[in-house]
């Protein structure tokens, strides 16, 4: 496969747009479920049925993760940066865990205390420990936040990333993809016969394939390949929509193992096409400034939207004297801006500090700079040089220098 990997990748703004659309799709999905229970059946109007498929937004996130995390290794011959697997996992832990733990604490407060009489069963000591250790997809426990399952799955995929890169270096992209696909499909079909086979399914193993698809898309830069990637994305996306219309939600959601891979392949093709300069309409739409701004904190949106829309429903929306489609539209019109605003505040407090300061050493240096900056300045015109290190903490733009448009490590 012919590709040209630049030594220094440009900023890829459209990724933030993709993240925004996926995150808000998840929000709309959970609002829809609150108004129209009965999933996976569509108990709402036909025009709203697309909101039932919020699960596929997670598939998009996984492909984007594989794509963004592979941009750096692609420029280094598919090798991790200095420090290897240990440093990679440290950076990923620093990037996602503190913010995730803060969201877990918020969820426990909301469901376990604020609305305890209704949702208290969602929080228990076991649930807190299991979720804190990111084992909620493998260990059964109450669910303080139903959206957190995918965080555990992605975290577990990170541990496979060094091995996936090794396979890519030794064998190439096609053998790598076929090997992973074969292992996942065999495991899926023989899960009931293998020891711990059901636990294998709890890993949502198709997401490993999606992650590798995203990784493959990160190197598909030749214009010839981009042309067919753009066409393939359109065909695969149309196939998914046709499948949903022809079969309906119950069969489609029951076949998410395969549907996820269809959506993942469509997403990977679209990312590859946009990355190589094709699919210009999609690039323009996904690079709208509002989407790019919101994409900065799409992780925070995903983490805290569930307790936010639940509080909105419990204390406000459920008391309104409307029902059916009018209630859904009113709920969405209220929930989306409230989620965005509250997630932005959460981002400022619980996520951005870990983008600005990338380690405990960075925190220590920032504190030293702050102390130096608070010292009285020398007399005006004295010619005294500025004390080293008086520059304030690095800006978020400095922290997100990687080409992903967000600090993806």
pLDDT tens per residue across span 238-282: 999 999 999 999 999 999 999 999 999 999 999 999 998 888 999
Residue 54 has pLDDT above 80, yes or no: yes
pLDDT digit string, tens, across residues 317-358? 999 999 999 999 999 999 999 999 999 999 999 999 999 988
* Stronger pLDDT, 330 or 221, i.e. the higher one: 330
pLDDT digit string, tens, across residues 57-83? 999 999 999 999 999 999 899 999 888
What tokens does 155 get?
Answer: 């975290």
pLDDT of residue 10: 53
pLDDT digit string, tens, across residues 355-396? 998 888 887 787 788 777 765 555 444 443 333 333 333 333
Place of tokens 């900023």: 11
pLDDT of residue 223: 62
Residue 153 has pLDDT above 60, yes or no: yes
Query: Can you tell me the distance from the alpha carbon of 20 to that of 203, in angstroms, rounded to the nearest whole number?
Result: 25
Residue 170 has pLDDT above 90, yes or no: yes
Residue 2 has pLDDT above 70, yes or no: no
Place of tokens 């969405």: 332
Place of tokens 């210009």: 280
Q: Give residue 155's pLDDT band: very low, low, confident or very high (50, 70, 90).
A: very high
pLDDT of residue 254: 96
Residue 154 has pLDDT above 90, yes or no: yes
Query: Can you tell me the distance from the alpha carbon of 253 to that of 238, in angstroms, rounded to the nearest whole number?
Result: 17
Buried b (16+ CB within 10 A) or exposed e, 261-279: bbbbbbbbbbbbbbbbebb
Q: Give residue 12's pLDDT band: very low, low, confident or very high (50, 70, 90).
A: confident
What tokens does 165 get?
Answer: 């890169």
pLDDT of residue 258: 98
Mean of pLDDT values over 30-48: 95
Mean of pLDDT values over 26-44: 96
What's the mean per-residue pLDDT of the chain?
Answer: 88
């Amino acid at each position: 496969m012919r590709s040209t990997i630049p030594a220094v990748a440009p900023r890829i703004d459209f990724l933030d747009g993709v993240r925004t659309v996926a995150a808000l799709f998840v929000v709309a999905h959970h609002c829809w479920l609150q108004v129209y229970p009965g999933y996976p059946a569509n108990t709402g109007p036909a025009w709203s049925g697309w909101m039932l498929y919020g699960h596929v937004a997670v598939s998009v996130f996984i492909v984007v993760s594989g794509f963004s995390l592979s941009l750096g290794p692609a420029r280094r011959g598919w090798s991790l940066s200095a420090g290897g697997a240990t440093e990679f996992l440290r950076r990923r832990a620093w990037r996602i865990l503190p913010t995730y733990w803060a969201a877990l604490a918020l969820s426990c407060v909301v469901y376990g205390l604020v609305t305890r009489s209704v949702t208290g069963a969602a929080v228990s000591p076991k649930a807190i420990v299991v979720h804190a250790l990111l084992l909620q997809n493998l260990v059964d426990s109450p669910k303080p936040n139903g959206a957190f399952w995918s965080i555990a799955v992605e975290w577990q995929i990170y541990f496979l990333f060094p091995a996936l890169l090794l396979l890519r270096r030794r064998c190439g992209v096609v053998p790598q993809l076929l090997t992973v696909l074969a292992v996942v499909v065999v495991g899926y079909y023989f899960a009931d016969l293998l020891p711990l086979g059901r636990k294998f399914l709890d890993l949502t193993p198709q997401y490993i394939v999606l992650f590798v698809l995203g990784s493959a898309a990160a190197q598909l830069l030749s214009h010839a390949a981009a042309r067919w990637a753009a066409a393939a994305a359109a065909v695969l996306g149309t196939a998914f929509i046709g499948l949903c219309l022809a079969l309906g939600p119950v069969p489609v959601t029951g076949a998410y193992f395969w549907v996820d891979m269809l959506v993942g392949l469509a997403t990977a093709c679209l990312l590859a096409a946009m990355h190589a300069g094709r699919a210009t309409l999609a690039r323009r739409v996904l690079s709208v400034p509002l989407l790019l701004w919101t994409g900065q904190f799409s992780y925070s949106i995903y983490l805290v939207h569930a307790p936010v829309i639940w509080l909105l429903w419990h204390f406000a929306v459920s008391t309104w004297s409307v029902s059916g489609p009018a209630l859904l539209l009113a709920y969405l019109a209220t929930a989306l801006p409230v989620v965005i605003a509250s997630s932005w505040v959460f981002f400022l407090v619980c996520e951005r500090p870990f983008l600005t300061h990338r380690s405990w050493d960075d925190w220590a240096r920032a504190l030293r700079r702050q102390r130096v900056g608070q010292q009285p300045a020398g007399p005006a015109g004295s010619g005294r040089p500025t004390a080293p290190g008086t520059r304030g903490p690095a800006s978020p733009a400095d922290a997100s220098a990687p080409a992903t448009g967000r600090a993806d490590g």
